[in-house]
Amino acid sequence: MRRVTPAPPIVRIELHPIHVPFRAAVREAMARAPGGLGMAIPAEEAWLGGDFVIARLVAEDGSVGVGEAFVWLPETGVSPAQILDAVQHGLARYVLGASPFDVEPLRARMDANVARSEVAKGLLDIALYDLMGHIAGRPAHDLMGGRGADTLPLTALIPLGDARSMVELASAFQKGGTRHFRLKLGTSLEDDRAIVAAVREALGPAVTLRVDYNQAYGPDAAVRAIEAIAPYGIECAEQPVRADDWLGLARVQRAVSVPLMAHEGCFSLTDATALIELGAVRVLGVNTERPGGITLALRAIDYAARRGMGTILHNQPLGIASAAQIHTGAARAASLGFAMELFGHVMLEDDLVVEPLDYAGGRVRVPDGPGLGVTLDRDALDRYATQPPVVLER
């Protein structure tokens, strides 16, 4: 990474907790599904939108970098308030006064002094890459090794419902150019098989299908469920067992030919490497919260590649974290091997960036411009705020 000398230090951190509702059509579709969440995860509270924390890092020369963290307690186990607390009372002291170009030493100091808190660390890490890019006048992917692609293929998320409604939604995405699909499953083996069979018949043999069980089954039932749909050509199966059942996941992976991927059960770089070495997964799942920012996402992707595995970048973020994942994907395009999943622009009523990202034709274009290549919409930030920002200064 070429360093700007002298680099202006970071003098201000702003933390903005916000809530962005889902689009009305998304809420309606989820409400029709078993459990009302559009997936098989056994959460009891209604999921009506996304909780986020937006970070703004301000350097001494006035340059600004932005980061974003998405949280949902049934999966992330972290609330916006916990992120604010981790930064305000722990992480900020290592960031304020530091050069953003010292991103690796900063990460090491945060890890040494604040255990876990990966989502909060990742929030700041993303903002560091954006800030570095603005100071240097270079896109973020240049600071990750360079751009390996101008566009990246996208995967459409099809929420859990009856087979007919899932086919209709998938067909609509196919007409728009999408060639990759993730189907939410997990109500029963019979329903799963009927859904996959109907979607495969409707979309044809040329599209790729992956499935997501959201922890629906025990290991033995997961084996039977995956074997039942394997003949339909399944690219990978996500989180078929409980998040904390790594040994059960490994047992399932040994029994089935379909590659498995962990999501709810993989939050840190240690989680990712342990799951790989246990033989519990054959595909790595990464987003900007898991394993915690761009720095560790790059390490995880590279580790998986050395083990002969590809990576799926996936999440439903706003525009900032979407751009961060796109730059990460562009920098590691040769290593991924799978279409990425970005669905926030479909699910959420606003993406909080001034210039919309280009998602045309089932692909996303890598944004140009310095840093992440997107501009935070300050009016929208104020509109969706859930409390006044926390401001920390040097």
Which residues make Cβ contacts (< 8 Å) with residue 349, sequence separation at least 6?
20, 21, 22, 23, 49
State how far the Cα of 95 lies from the Cα of 205, in Å rounded to an integer: 50
Q: Do you know the residue count of the chain?
A: 394
CATH number, domain containing residue 129: 3.30.390.10
Residue 229 in any domain: the answer is yes
Residue 72, domain member (yes or no): yes
**Same domain membership, residue 107 and residue 179:** no
Instruction: Indicate whether 127 and 272 sit together in one domain.
Output: no
Do 54 and 192 fall into the same domain?
no
What is the reported pLDDT for 375?
98
Residue 296: how many other CB atoms lie within 10 Å: 22
In this structure, the answer to whether residues 192 and 256 fall within a common structural domain is yes
Rounded Cα gap, residues 248 and 357, in angstroms: 39
Q: What burial letters (b/e) apply to 107-129, b meaning 16+ CB within 10 Å?
A: bebbbeebeebbbbbbbbbbbbb
Decide if 370 is inside a domain: no
> Is the domain of 165 the same as that of 127?
no
Q: 215 and 125, same structural domain?
A: no
Are residue 19 and residue 112 in the same domain, yes or no? Answer: yes
Q: Based on the domain organization, do 277 and 168 belong to the same domain? A: yes
| Main-chain phi, psi angles of 134, to 5 degrees | -70, -40
Asked whether residue 332 is assigned to any structural domain, the reply reads yes
**Is residue 152 included in any domain, yes or no?**
yes
Domain count, the chain: 2
Q: Which helix (H) or strand (E) holds 10?
A: strand 10-21
- Within-domain flag for 245: yes
- Same domain as 26, residue 133: yes
Instruction: List per-block mean pLDDT (blocks of 10 residues) for the chain, which spans 394 residues.
Output: 72 98 90 83 88 98 98 92 98 98 96 95 98 98 97 97 96 97 97 98 98 97 98 98 98 98 95 97 94 96 98 96 98 98 95 96 96 98 98 97
269 lies in a domain? yes
Residue 226's domain is classified under what CATH number?
3.20.20.120
Per-residue model confidence (pLDDT) at position 4:
44
Sign of CA dihedral 184, 190, 196, 202: negative
d(CA 36, CA 177): 29
Residues 64 and 109 in one domain: yes
Question: What end-to-end distance do the CA atoms of the chain give, in Å?
Answer: 26
Using the Cα atoms of residue 111, residue 142, residue 299 and residue 372 in order, give the sign of their dihedral.
positive
Three-state DSSP state, 113? helix
pLDDT score recorded for residue 5:
61
The parent domain of residue 249 ranges over 144-365
Q: How far is CA 164 from CA 32, 38, 96, 126, 309, in A?
A: 13, 14, 54, 40, 34
The backbone torsions φ and ψ at residue 3, rounded to the nearest 5 degrees and listed phi first, read -105, 140
The answer to whether residue 241 is domain-embedded is yes
The pTM score is 0.96
DSSP character for 80? H
pLDDT at 209: 98
Q: Are residues 130 and 151 in the same domain?
A: no
Looking at the structure, tell me whether residues 132 and 154 fall in a common domain. Answer: no
Helices (H), the chain: 24-32, 73-76, 80-86, 92-95, 103-113, 118-136, 163-175, 189-203, 219-229, 246-255, 269-278, 293-306, 319-331, 333-336, 344-347, 378-383
One-letter amino acid of 247? L
What tokens were used for 45?
Answer: 């509270």
Strands 363-365 and 151-153: antiparallel
